[in-house]
Amino acid sequence: METTTALTADVLVLGFGKGGKTAAHALTDAGKRVILIEQSADMYGGTCPNVGCVPTKMLVHYSTSKRLEDEAQEFFANSIEGVRALTSAFRAGNFDALDGKDTATVITGTARFVDPHTVEVGRDADRITVTAPTILINTGSEPIVPDIPGLADSAHLVSSTDLTRTGTLPRRLVIIGGGYLGLEFASIYRHFGAEVTILEAADRLLVREDEDVAAVATGILEGDGISIITGARVTGVADTDGAAIISYEKDGRTRDIRTDAFLAATGRRPATAGLGLEAAGVRTTARGAIVVDDRLRTTQPHIFALGDVNGGPQFTYVSLDDARIVIDQLAGSGERSTADRAAVPATLFITPPLATVGMTEREARERGLNIRVARENVADIVAMPRAYTVEETRGVMKFILDADTDLILGAAILSIDAQEIINTIALAMRQGVAATTLKNAIYTHPSSTEALNEVLGVIVG
């Protein structure tokens, strides 16, 4: 016999990601009755603490801690166990912190809209419906599996999730795509001891960055022993004799590469399939992203979309800022919007990391701006002894400065601690702090930030 449980809430949240859980906590604390639905018990807390930022950056740490005497497979398996322990603790903590509140409930299951205010979870027996006057969609994104013959059916295809959870280190790993995800896993697995090859369709890595910065990053990766093949278009995958043969075209010729495992790091798309958005009257783009305004309202004013699902930058901290906007709409002054964002940084966690913010030199020159360029290789920065104390002197720091106002237009920091330095630079850009002020500031010693004392005075163009 079919039974249906009908629940109501003030706010319904679909997805346990950073934006959804942050908004759920804040709205619960503001006196709202909140129900959050997450389709997988493995994803309480969202992508970042379970299969994204936290496990990958933990693997960066483990992989660069490997000693010559460590046996590769054993060291890797122990590292994966460490990741599992931490992510399990985070997952349980995220669930308990929200579900433990008196006016919050977490439901595990797949939700589908049945009308603009109602979703259903499950079918037939034990079907649950949840109705709410306000709904937040925070279902994130999912990997794009390219339409390449034999790829999706290969037994040797691994996902980024597999690479953070599987305790067996492949001897050979091929990564299709040289974006952030591909380069991070290439760096991680190479440091663990795998033979890593990157197949990139473009004629160079990091095409959005200036060529000089990209060249330094490429040199570091190749120096670590990663094989990088650019201008490579993958045409097919075939399994044979316990391995996969990946075929690709380069310079008009077809070549093959044999591998134990391969990752298709060809991008992610908003996870909206199966949500039944048409029943809710919520419009999406051709890519499946939910259309929102600058307050993150969808085509239904009572439904908001936060994080990757709305087609914005796929960063956890952007999802967090999405939550701030929605919280302000529902329990604040309603003044915050995406238009408030400026100088949003990004970090690629290769070793050492590459962090960027604002314009590149190429973009500034294409706009006809009057600029100065400050640049120095990390190995040459006298005012940065920290690079030598941690034995990581590879990299470069580059700044694009407005020659008329002395303001920073953009920066690329490829160095130890780049993920921290960039936040200081981004804050300075948002607050209109002049480059000379940063150059003459007092920083702790020895630190990486004190490199600004020197680099901002090294004008090369």
Closest to 151 measured CA to CA, from 50, 246, 268, 286 = 246
3-state secondary structure of 92: helix
Identify the pLDDT of residue 49.
73
* Element spanning 246, H or E: strand 243-250
Q: Bridge partners of 142? A: 269
User: Taking the domain 346-455, which CATH number applies?
Assistant: 3.30.390.30
Q: What is the DSSP letter of 202?
A: S
The pair phi, psi for residue 197, each rounded to 5°, is: -125, 135
**How far lies 306's CA from each of 19, 130, 149, 181, in Å?**
6, 19, 34, 21
d(CA 452, CA 397): 9
Q: Bridge partners of 459? A: 374
- Tell how far CA 214 is from the center of its chain: 19
Half-sphere exposure of 155 (CA within 13 A, CB side): 6
Profile the chain (461 residues) by mean pLDDT over runs of 10 residues: 81 95 96 94 78 84 89 92 89 88 93 97 85 97 94 96 92 97 96 97 97 98 98 97 96 97 95 96 96 98 97 93 97 95 96 98 98 98 95 97 98 98 98 98 96 96 82
Instruction: Give 7: exposed, middle or buried? Use CB within 10 Å, 0-12, 13-18, 19+.
Output: middle
d(CA 400, CA 61): 31
Question: What stretches of 70-159 adopt beta strand conformation (E)?
Answer: 104-108, 111-115, 118-121, 127-131, 134-137, 141-143, 157-158
The pair phi, psi for residue 22, each rounded to 5°, is: -65, -45
Closest to 271 measured CA to CA, from 294, 287, 293, 295 = 287
- Sign, CA dihedral 189-353-91-114, equals negative
**How far lies 283's CA from each of 151, 296, 301, in Å?**
31, 13, 12
d(CA 277, CA 282): 5
As a dihedral over the C-alpha atoms of residue 277, residue 281, residue 286, residue 288, rounded to 10 degrees, the angle is: -30
Residues near 286 by beta carbon (within 8 Å), at least 6 away in sequence = none
Domains 4-142+269-340 and 346-455 share a fold: no
Angle ∠(411,293,410) on CA atoms, nearest 5: 5
Identify the pLDDT of residue 182.
97
d(CA 387, CA 270): 39
Burial code (b: 16+ CB inside 10 Å, e: under 16) for 366-375 equals eeeeebbbbb
Q: Where are the domains of the chain?
A: 4-142+269-340, 157-266, 346-455
Over the stretch 249-293, which tens digit does the pLDDT of each residue have?
A: 999 999 999 999 999 999 999 999 999 999 999 999 999 999 999
- Sign, CA dihedral 127-132-135-138, equals negative
Furthest C-alpha separation in the chain: 77
Strand-strand pairing, 371-377 and 396-402: antiparallel
> Residue holding tokens 């850009």?
429
Identify the pLDDT of residue 123.
77
Q: Tokens at residue 25, please? A: 């906590």
Which one is catalytic: 25, 117, 156, 445?
Answer: 445
User: Taking the domain 157-266, which CATH number applies?
Assistant: 3.50.50.60
Domain 4-142+269-340 falls in which CATH fold? FAD/NAD(P)-binding domain (3.50.50)
Single-letter code of the amino acid located at 223: G
CB 427 within 8 A of CB 441: no
Identify the pLDDT of residue 51.
65
d(CA 87, CA 418): 25
Assess whether 191 carries a catalytic annotation. no
The answer to whether the pTM exceeds 0.85 is yes
